[in-house]
Amino acid sequence: MNFRFTEDEEIFAKSVRDFLTRESTPKHVRQWEQDPVGFSRETMKKMADMGWFGVCLPEKLGGLGLPFDYLTILFHQLGHFIPHGPIWETVVSGLVLLHAKPSKHRDELLSRMARGEAICTLTLHPSTPDKKSAILHFVPYAAGSDYIVTPQNKGGRQRVGVVPAQSVAAGLAPVPVTSGERMYHVSLPSRSTRTGMAFPISRPAFETAMDMGRILAAAFLLGISERALEIAVQYAGERVQFGRPIGSFQAVQHLVADIKVKTEGLRLLVYEASSAVTQGGAARRLASMAKFWANSTAYTATKNAHQVLGGFGVMAETDLQLFYRRAKGWMINKGGEADMLDRVAETLP
C-alpha cells in the first residue's frame, strides 16, 4: 500500500500545472467560450509538444510510454484549469485505437495524434442510423477537429470509424450547451459516399478503452471539485457578514466539509480504478463507480461552493460559474449516473 504519489508522478503533475497556469487561465477559458471554433489549435499543439496526446502510447509511435496513472494525473490537473478543446476526445480516441487490431494505418494515425497533427473528437451518444445517413448527436468540437471517431457496433462486430471532419463540414449543426463547449449534431453522408477508415476492435477491448476514458473523465471532475473547494474555502475565510468571516459559521463550515469528504473519497476511488488499469486488471466496476461518484461529487462541490459564494458566485464575471457549468457538461456527456450505476450493478458479486 502507498497512498502517496511517487516523485516522478509529482514532477509530472507539476509540469502540467505550470503549463496550465500560463496557458489556461480563466481569461483564456472565457475567450474560448466566445471563440467560433471553441478552442485554440495552437494551445493543443503545445500540449502535444508536452507529450499529452501520447502519454500511454509506445515510444516508437512518438508516445511517452508511461503507465496509465500518468494520464489520470494529467486529467486530474486539467480539471483544475478546464481548458477547452477535444483533449479528452483525442486521448480517448488514441486509447481506443491502441486497443484496436494493429495495422500500419492505425500506427500512422496514432503517431500523428501523438504529434498533435490528428486532433480527434469522439461520438459517445448513440447515432440514429438509417440506410442512407446517420446523425451523430452532441459531438464536441466537431469543427476544428481533424477526425470524428465513431465507435460502431454492427451485428455484434465492433469497429472504430475514423471520418475526416472536413468531409462532413456541411453537415454540422451547432448546439449551444450549458458547459460553453462547442457542441454539434453531425449528419454523416451515406455510407457509399463516406470517406474515412474503419478499424476492427474486439468488444472487450473497446470496453476496456472506454473504462479508461471514464476514469479520466472522473479525474477531470475530481480536479473541478477540488478547485470548487479551494474557491469556497478562500471566500468563506474572507467574506465578512454579521461582523465575522462567514467561514466561522457552522452552517457554512458544514457545506464546505461535505465537499471535502466527497472529494477525498473520489480522489481515492479514481486512483484505485486507475491503479487497477495500470496493473492490467479488470476495472469495469471501479471505473463505473469512479465516474458515478465523480458526477455526484462535482454536483455537491459546485452546488455547495455556489451556496457559500452567494450572489457573488452567480455573476458571469466570477470564475466559479465556469467550473459549475463545465462540470454539468462532463457529468452528462461522459457517463451519466443511471448508466454508470447499471454497469456497477452488473459486476457486483
Residues of the shown chain interacting with other proteins in the complex, contacts defined by CB under 8 A? 1-5, 69, 229, 233, 236-237, 244-245, 247-250, 252-254, 256-258, 260-261, 264-266, 268-269, 271-272, 275-276, 286, 289, 292-293, 338, 341-342, 344-345, 348-349
Give the orientation angle of helix 87-98 with respect to helix 41-49, to 10 degrees.
50
Record the cell numbers describing residue 317, joined without a space: 464575471
C-beta closer to other proteins: residue 33 or 264: 264
Supply the minimum distance, in Å, between the C-beta of residue 274 and other proteins. Answer: 8
Q: How far is the CB of 262 from other proteins (least distance, A)?
A: 9
Among residues 105 and 254, whose Cβ is nearest to other proteins?
254
- DSSP label at 159? E
Distance from C-alpha of 159 to C-alpha of 157, rounded to nearest angstrom: 7
Which residue, 23 or 258, has its beta carbon nearer to other proteins?
258
Q: How far is the CB of 281 from other proteins (least distance, A)?
A: 10
CA distance 41 to 83: 12
Q: What is the largest CA-CA distance in the chain?
A: 72
Concatenate the DSSP letters of all residues of 183-235 into one string.
Answer: EEEEEEPPTTT---EEEE--HHHHHHHHHHHHHHHHHHHHHHHHHHHHHHHHH
Residue 318 CB, shortest distance to other proteins, in Å, is 20
> 224: closest CA among 266, 182, 252?
266
Phi, psi of 94 (to 5 degrees): -60, -45
Cβ 129 to other proteins, closest distance in Å? Answer: 27
CA dihedral over 14, 18, 19, 25, signed as positive or negative:
positive
Q: How far is the CB of 98 from other proteins (least distance, A)?
A: 23
> What's the rounded Cα separation, in Å, for the pair 190 and 282?
38
Closer residue to other proteins (CB): 15 or 253: 253
The DSSP 8-state label assigned to residue 38 in this structure reads: S
Nearest approach, Cβ of residue 216 and other proteins (Å):
16
Nearer to other proteins, 142 or 236 (CB): 236
Q: Which is nearer to other proteins, 174 or 265 (CB)?
A: 265
Task: Give the nearest distance from C-beta 124 to other proteins in angstroms.
Answer: 20
Nearer of residues 138 and 249 to other proteins, judged by Cβ: 249
Cα dihedral 7/9/15/19 (nearest 10):
-150
Give residue 171's identity as a one-letter amino acid code: G
The whole-angstrom separation of Cα 44 and Cα 30 is 17
Residue with cell 502519454: 55
148 or 229: CB nearest other proteins: 229
d(CA 56, CA 96): 12
Q: Residue 69: which of 280, 304, 320 has the closest Cα? A: 280
Gap between the Cα atoms of 11 and 58, Å rounded: 21
Residue 234: CB minimum distance to other proteins, A: 10
Q: Which is nearer to other proteins, 97 or 259 (CB)?
A: 259
Strand 172-174 to 183-188 pairing: antiparallel
